[in-house]
Structure 1
Amino acid sequence: MKLFTCGTCGQTIHFDNRLCMRCGSPLGFLAADVTLHALVPEGEGVWKIASGDGLYRYCTNAVHDVCNWIVPADGAHAFCEACRHNRIVPTTDPVGLERWRRIGAAQRHLFYSILRWKLPHPTREEDPAGGLVFDFLADELDANGNVVAAAMTGHEDGLISLRAAEADDVVRESVRVAMGEPYRSLLGHFRHEVGHFYWTQLVRDEATLEEARNLFGDEREDYAAALQRNYDEGPPADWQERFISTYASCHPAEDFAECWAHFFHIVDTLETARAFGLNTDPKGHEELEAEVTFDPYRAPNASRLVESWVPLSVAMNAIQRSMGQPDSYPFVLSPPVVEKLDFINRLVRAVGNSQ
């Protein structure tokens, strides 16, 4: 994630900021240039970018304090580039609304990367059969407020469902512990599930499909049977040598989605490190030296990403442990995983280069 600059006073501003902390200017993110801008009023509900042209208004979801993105005032869309994909949102009560705010923050981080790579993201209006759409689902509760049936997180034909209750730290952490996972986050859910969507969007021609199957396996393998085998027998003994996570080992489709999510994690975190000028230079430990001198969103290959990522993630984990916190990145990137990440890097670069 980049750092941004207030066009009114020059203060550093951050992606999730609503106001400049120095001058108080309202801020809005514009998908067209992937930039957070300071705004000046130009009439009721209409804004102009400071030192810029054009008139804009906030996404309709700004009224719920859910979104800080802006759209052209004379445009066809009331919702921003991210929110126009939403179908079911939890707005029926204060708890649901607060969950939606946290979910929306993660969703906008997802779309920042989608926009940076210029990845296709058709809506259901543009592609009724397979456009990208989100349902943020509430659990089914009894009269006493106890969960009768938990909503499911998953993907099917462009529809991504997310259990809204996982916006609550207690719920999400309890699920993580119950599932034996080293890591679980809303942003991780988004990045994983959208990986399934981009399989159908980008892995289409025969040559690409053949390479994908050589790397990840045949996605036509019976999914229910594969999951049942995973639950009954657990992951293969050598899973760490071939997969990014135990879940990735259960089915080729999940392997691709897990690698897709980690690719997003790595690239966006490296861009953040670059924005802050972070580098690692531990004296006497040259193998842990790293400096992000390139744009991770334009990396030529996964090896370039990994050579910076490994030292940086080791440093982040050490800092977390010094604070008594769990590792930020509790995963190992084996050579087969790096090869899979390189395949994904080539997929997304091909899209950007074609536009």
Structure 2
Amino acid sequence: MKTFCCERCHARVFFENVSCNACEAELGFVPGELAMASFEVDARGGLKRLSKTPRPGLRRCANHEAPVLCNWMVDADDAQPQCVSCRTTQVRPSLATAANRAYWFRIEVAKRQLAYSLLSWGLPLPSKAEDPQHGVAFQFLEQVDPAKTVLTGHDAGLITLNIAEADDARREQVRAQMREPYRTLLGHLRHEIGHYYWDRLIRDTPWLGEFRALFGDERTDYAKALKKHYASPIADWQQRFVSAYASCHPWEDWAECWAHYMHLQDGLETAASWGLQLDHAVPGGMPVRAEVIPHDADDLQRRVVRSWLPVSQFINAMSRSLGGRDSYPFVVPDAVLDKLAFIHRVIGAGVRGEVAMTFGSAREPEAESVECPTP
């Protein structure tokens, strides 16, 4: 995540802010500019942008009010009432309880961060209403019947998230029970969107053969592979996989590596945007300056080792000094570096138009998000 400042007073503002703490200007993130805009509110409640250069008209996302408090803007001539992130939400949880309202807020905050990264890379993120066959939709479900488990997952562009994942205490309890080193709300979304982009970038494309050489044959029976994994996980998974779960099936290996790629690229963008330089990354060595890895770079493995690993070590050292767990509890073997480099090349070739991505152009009227029915 890059840094932002108020257009009026130039104070630092953050991605989630709805107003400037210094000058009280209204704030709104403009997806088309990947920038934060500042506004004054006129007597009629209209917005006047505080920019020194003329800009196209903007309006607030329809989810600007509580509980979502979305701070993303919509082009004034856009027929859709919601921003490009909110319009992908197809089913929201019941808002009858304060807890559910808080969960939905947290989930949408994480989804906007996810969308920011994808849009900044130039990857399409159409809603199902915009691209019925190839678009993406999210449903955020509450488990109300103990006999009907709500599983987080992906199916043909529909991503399901159990809203209990937005409960920090419950999520940490599950993480400990599953003996996972890392489990976050944003991590879930990154993993599931990885499945979505496998369909858009790999399935039925020239990449499929190289994918199978690196990750394995995705035609392996998924249900049997998952059952085998939980019954007898691979003991030496650390040598070839980024997580134990990645070892269960090629699809999960891809999704875990995709999430990890987003993880390190977002981390590097944040560190670079703040101007992070580590003068003592290697005792007696040269200073290391955090740098984003551009999508036309052909040496991702070297750049990860040179830039990301020192930054991640610094982050862990800070976490420990503040009494927390390691924020980056991963070891990245060469086999995983090769998989990350493949993902890097696939994204770069797709956004440059060198290899066709699978998206459609059909558009239908946008459906508003609906409440999940209670059984």
TM-score of the superposed pair, with normalisation by structure 1: 0.93
Quote the residue 1:302 is aligned against. Answer: 300
| Cα distance change of structure 1 residues 132 and 305 upon mapping to structure 2, 3 Å threshold | same
Quote the residue 1:135 is aligned against. Answer: 139
Quote the residue 1:78 is aligned against. Answer: 81
Structure 1 residues not aligned, in runs of 5+: 142-146
Quote the residue 1:144 is aligned against. Answer: none
Q: 1:237 aligns with which of 229, 235, 238?
A: 235
Q: Which amino acid aligns with 1:188?
A: G
Q: Deviation string for 1:215-268 (max 9, x for gaps)?
A: 00111110000010001111x222111000000000000000000000000001
Q: Measure, in 2, the Cα distance between the counterparts of 1:197 and 1:210.
A: 19
Contact 2:242/2:331, CA 8 A, preserved across alignment: yes
Q: Deviation string for 1:102-153 (max 9, x for gaps)?
A: 1111000100011001112222123323420000100115xxxxx5544210
Q: Does 1:64 align with 2:73?
A: no
Deviation at 1:297, TM superposition (A): 5.9
Deviation at 1:41, TM superposition (A): 2.6
| Cα distance change of structure 1 residues 283 and 228 upon mapping to structure 2, 3 Å threshold | closer
Quote the residue 2:196 is aligned against. Answer: 197
Deviation at 1:284, TM superposition (A): 6.3
| Comparing 197-206 and 239-248, the one that deviates more | 197-206
Contact 1:150/1:163, CA 8 A, preserved across alignment: no
Q: 1:255 aligns with which of 242, 249, 253?
A: 253
Quote the residue 2:365 is aligned against. Answer: none
**Structure with larger RCO (C-alpha < 8 A, sep 6+):** 2
Q: Does 1:326 align with 2:325?
A: yes
Q: Which amino acid aligns with 2:30?
A: L
Q: 1:118 aligns with which of 119, 122, 143?
A: 122
Quote the residue 2:267 is aligned against. Answer: 269
| Cα distance change of structure 1 residues 22 and 177 upon mapping to structure 2, 3 Å threshold | same
Q: Which amino acid aligns with 1:54?
A: P
Deviation at 1:354, TM superposition (A): 2.5
Q: Which amino acid aligns with 1:272?
A: T
Contact 2:268/2:291, CA 8 A, preserved across alignment: no
Q: Secondary structure at the match of 1:207?
A: coil
Q: Which amino acid aligns with 1:56?
A: L
Contact 1:56/1:73, CA 8 A, preserved across alignment: yes
Contact 1:268/1:296, CA 8 A, preserved across alignment: no
RMSD value over aligned CA atoms? 1.9
Q: Does 1:36 align with 2:48?
A: no
Aligned length: 349
Identity %: 45
Q: Which amino acid aligns with 1:138?
A: E
Q: Measure, in 1, the Cα distance between the counterparts of 2:282 and 2:186.
A: 36
Deviation at 1:100, TM superposition (A): 0.7
| Comparing 115-124 and 212-221, the one that deviates more | 115-124
| Comparing 46-55 and 313-322, the one that deviates more | 46-55
Quote the residue 2:213 is aligned against. Answer: 214
Contact 1:267/1:296, CA 8 A, preserved across alignment: no
Q: Measure, in 1, the Cα distance between the counterparts of 2:319 and 2:345.
A: 32
Q: Secondary structure at the match of 1:61?
A: coil
| Cα distance change of structure 1 residues 287 and 232 upon mapping to structure 2, 3 Å threshold | farther
Q: Measure, in 2, the Cα distance between the counterparts of 1:267 and 1:131.
A: 24
Contact 1:267/1:297, CA 8 A, preserved across alignment: no
| Comparing 337-346 and 306-315, the one that deviates more | 306-315
Structure 2 residues not aligned, in runs of 5+: 355-375
Deviation at 1:351, TM superposition (A): 2.4
Q: Deviation string for 1:139-191 (max 9, x for gaps)?
A: 115xxxxx554421000000000011111111101111111100000000000
